[in-house]
Amino acid sequence: MPNKNLMNVESHILEMQRLHPSASGDFTSLLGDIAFAAKIIAREVTRAGLVDILGSTGASNVQGETVQKLDDYANAVMLKVVGRRGQVCLMASEELADPVRVDIREGSGKYVVVFDPLDGSSNIDANVSIGTIFSIYRRRSRLAAIGDADLLQPGRDLVAAGYVVYGSSTMFVNTTGHGVHGYTLDPGIGEFLLSHENIKIPFAAGIYSVNEGNEPRWSPAVREIVRRLKYGRQESGGMSARYIGSLVADFHRDLLYGGVFLYPPTDRAPEGKLRLLYEAAPLALIAEHAGGYASDGRGPILDLVPREVHQRTPLYVGSRETVMWIEKMLGDPTFGDPAFGAGD
Ligand code: AHG
Ligand code: MN
Ligand code: MN
């Protein structure tokens, strides 16, 4: 085994693929393509504040490239780079109303890729961490008959999922079913190097992450859950609150430190805000493979079968014990209802 400290993302995935002697290499090269796209997006993200300076007079910057909103840019990079070697037959993105078929001249088109090209985009102008989320499914239909059955698969059927966080450093985190691993971009050599092998999320959360500005629009049960997270369920006391407003960054911190991220339904958004296919499901897969859990308040996110690409879902994800407790409380019709008292 080569020195782990000098493993880049492709070589590490290749090592893990050795467990599957029949693998064609398509999957490894696809993850390599995603990592490559992430480097291009990372470069642009770090120049975000310069866009006005470099491209102030019109629609183009000093290279003569069109200045685009970073979401559009990230989306265009993903579409162009991912699956360019024929591994992918279909892609869907938060930025596209409809999925796109990939023209496969050579290659097997074995995979379907879904992504949120830039997550947390309201934070861009404030220089706060943002991310990219991706999911990889296996094509189910014959190439000639690709359709909803290939795209609308439950998270349980994911072959791989991951995210990139553009923060104080750029990190690529993914699971291919053999643990969750993190790779940090070394800007000097332009490689993601294995830095966080086999990440495990602490069993119980010490941090809760939720937009408390929405409290007036929550159900009584959700309000009571957050109150108990804050004041303490046990004598050990309450938790710290941390909320960035970028799902990837909030999730990443909770994964490393032990925490729970909540985006509950509100009276204005009864299905919640976040999207099942390209936000909730991939992070749910990572959470479960790291020993955590993700719920929509009723059951595992990974068991939900999407009805449409942009479907929303409530999301509770992070440390297993805490998310399980939230799910249990939400399943109790008397919880949070003042008429019944708030017992658990
Ligand atoms: P996106 O930037 O991809 O549209 O996602 C934004 C999401 C997510 O990143 C974050 O957790 C959430 O919006 C924050 O929502 P609030 O501003 O309502 O808290
Ligand atoms: Mn998002
Ligand atoms: Mn987005």
120 lines ligand 1 (CB under 6 A): yes
CATH 3.60.15.10 fits 207-330, yes or no: no
Ligand 1 mutation pick, 114, 116, 122, max ligand atoms within 8 A of CB: 122
Q: What is the pLDDT of residues 141-175, one digit of tens each?
A: 998 899 999 999 999 999 999 999 999 999 999 99
Q: Quick one: pLDDT at residue 1?
A: 52
pLDDT at 344: 46
pLDDT confidence of residue 256: 98
Closest CA to 303 of 148, 155, 135: 155
Q: What pLDDT, on the 0 to 100 scale, is given for residue 126?
A: 87
pTM: 0.93
Cα-based torsion angle of the residue sequence 51, 57, 60, 61 in order, rounded to the nearest 10 degrees: -50
Helix (H) or strand (E) holding 273: none
C-alpha of residue 121 to centroid of ligand 2, in Å:
8
| CA 344 to ligand 3 centroid distance, Å | 37
Number of residues assigned to the chain: 344
Looking at residue 106, its pLDDT comes to 75
Please identify which residue in the block is written with the tokens 């699971």.
175
Identify the segments of the chain with pLDDT beneath 70: 1-5, 21, 51-68, 234-236, 338-344
| Ligand 1 pocket, residue 119 CB under 6 Å | yes
* For the CA of 254, the nearest ligand: 1
pLDDT in tens, 101-128: 998 877 789 999 999 999 998 888 888 9
According to CATH, the superfamily of the domain at 9-196 is Fructose-1,6-Bisphosphatase, subunit A, domain 1 (3.30.540.10)
Predicted local confidence at residue 68, as pLDDT: 64
Q: How far does CA 26 lie from the centroid of its chain?
A: 22
pLDDT at position 339: 67
Give dist(CA 11, CA 23) in Å, integer: 15
Q: CA neighbours within 13 Å on the CB side: how many for 319?
A: 20
* Cα 246 to middle of ligand 3, angstroms: 9
Q: Which atom of ligand 1 is nearest to the CA of 123?
A: 2
Provide the pLDDT for residue 57.
39
Helices (H), ranges, 100-186: 148-151
**In contact, 61 and 51? CB cutoff 8 Å:** yes
**184 DSSP β-pair partners:** 171, 193
Q: Which two tokens stand for residue 46?
A: 């770090």
Q: What integer pLDDT is reported at residue 58 of this predicted model?
A: 43
Query: What is the token pair recorded at 86?
Result: 């024929």
CATH 3.30.540.10 in the chain is located at 9-196
Delimit the CATH 3.40.190.80 region(s) of the chain: 207-330
Residues sharing a CB contact under 8 Å with residue 151, sequence separation 6 or more, in sequence order: 90, 92, 99, 112, 114, 137, 277, 306, 309
Closest CA to 89 of 107, 112, 116, 114: 112
